[in-house]
Amino acid sequence: MWISRVLCLLALPALALAQDGTVTVGNATWGGLIIRFQAKVEPEGTGQARLSGGVAPTSDGTHRTISDPAHKRKLGYDLRAELLGDGQTLRITLGPLTKASQLEPGWTWIAPPSFPVVPMMRAGNTAAIDLLVNPATGQKVVEYLSVERADLDPTRVAKNPPRDFSMDDVELLLDRPRVWINGNLLPSSANSGGAIRAHALWLFLPGEGIFVISLWPEQGFAKAGMLQGSVMTFRNSSSEYRVECASPIAPGSGVYNVYLHHEAGARHGRTSEFMIGGADKGVWLIRKD
C-alpha cells in the first residue's frame, strides 16, 4: 500500500540531472528564470521509471500533474514562485492542486497531505521532493524541480554518454502567445505573460475548445497547419487560427507541419480564460472517455 509523504531532500547542481522527459514553465515576473519539472520512480522497479506529466501555467506559477500508469493514479500540486530582490533567486511554494483534470476510467487521484518548504533556489539548483513512498518496498515517486536561465546555460550539460538525436529531444516553446481567430485577436490572449516549454502543447481558447499541438503525427492527430519561427497557423473546421509568440516556438529555422487534436468544451472547468499547457507527449493530453 502506498502512503503520501512529502520531503524536500536537498538542493544540488542542475548538471547532475538529465533532461529526458521534462517540461518547463516560465513567467514574465521571474526575471528570465524558468523551472523544469521531472518525475521519476526511485529505485526503478518493473514499471515505468520516468513518469509522464503536464503543466498548466498560472499568473504566478503552474498547476502540475503527474501520471503513474503502473498504478493507474494521478497526483499533482500547485507551484507558485516569487523573484526575490537580488533578481537571481526564486522563493518557491507548493500547495494542493486547485484544478484537477478529468480522470480516465479506473484511475484515482492522490493528493499529498502536506508540502515541504522548498529552499530558496537560484539558477543551477535542483530540489528533489518525495511525493509518494511505499513503506513496504521503499520505492518513491520523486519530483525534481530545477531552476535555470531561459537562455542556454552551460551548467545544464548532463554528464551522460553521447547518443543519437531523437524526436524526444525536440521541445516546443510558447512564450507569451497571442491568438487570432479568423483575423480577430482573441481578447483573453492579448496580455498573456506566461511561457511553457514541452514536447507537446495545448491551448484552451474560450468558445473554441482545446487544441493539442504536436510536430509529428501521433495517434489521434491530423495535419492541420504549419509553424515557422515564432508564428504557428492551423485550421479547424471552417476557422483559421494564428498564434504569435515572443520567441521562436520550435528550434531551427525550417517550416514544420503542425498536427492537431481538437476537443470541444472547457479545460479544468473554466470557460472564459485563455490557458496553455504541455506534456511529454501529445497523446497524454487527449481525454479518454
Q: Picking from 9-18, 143-152, 266-275, which range would have the lowest pLDDT averaged per residue?
A: 9-18
**Alpha carbons 212 and 204: distance in angstroms, whole number:** 9
Strand, coil or helix: 43: coil
**Alpha carbons 16 and 283: distance in angstroms, whole number:** 29
pLDDT of 277 reads: 79
> What proportion of the chain, given as a percentage, has pLDDT over 70?
76
pLDDT of 279 reads: 74
**Alpha carbons 123 and 273: distance in angstroms, whole number:** 31
Enter the pTM of the model.
Answer: 0.62
Q: Which three cell numbers stand for residue 21?
A: 522527459
Strand, coil or helix: 218: coil
pLDDT of 171 reads: 79
Q: Picking from 67-76, 81-90, 203-212, 231-240, which range would have the lowest pLDDT averaged per residue?
A: 67-76
Q: For residue 226, what pLDDT band results from cuts at 50, 70 and 90?
A: very high
Secondary-structure percent of the chain, ordered helix, strand, coil, rounded to 5: 5, 50, 40
Q: Of 94, 261, 289, 282, nearest to 172 (Cα)?
A: 282
Q: What is the DSSP letter of 173?
A: E
pLDDT of 142 reads: 85
- pLDDT tens across 164-174, in order? 555 566 778 88
pLDDT over 70 at 96, yes or no: yes
Question: Comparing 273 with 262, which gets the higher pLDDT?
Answer: 262
Kindly tell me the burial class for residue 66, based on how many C-beta atoms sit within 10 Å of its own C-beta (0-12, 13-18, 19 or more): buried
**Alpha carbons 209 and 214: distance in angstroms, whole number:** 17
DSSP letters of 231-256?
EEEEEETTEEEEEE-SS-SSSSS-EE
pLDDT of 9 reads: 39
pLDDT over 50 at 195, yes or no: yes
Strands 108-110 and 73-83: parallel
In the block, residue with C-alpha cell 490572449: 189
pLDDT of 154 reads: 43
pLDDT of 190 reads: 84
Q: Are 196 and 174 in contact (CB under 8 A)?
A: yes
Q: Does residue 43 have a cis bond before it (omega within 30 degrees)?
A: yes
pLDDT of 242 reads: 94
As a whole number of Å, the end-to-end CA separation of the chain is 28
Which phi and psi (to 5°) does residue 230 adopt?
-100, 10
**Alpha carbons 210 and 54: distance in angstroms, whole number:** 15
Helix (H) or strand (E) segment spanning residue 37? strand 33-42
Domain assignments of the chain as residue spans, ordered by start = 3-150, 171-285
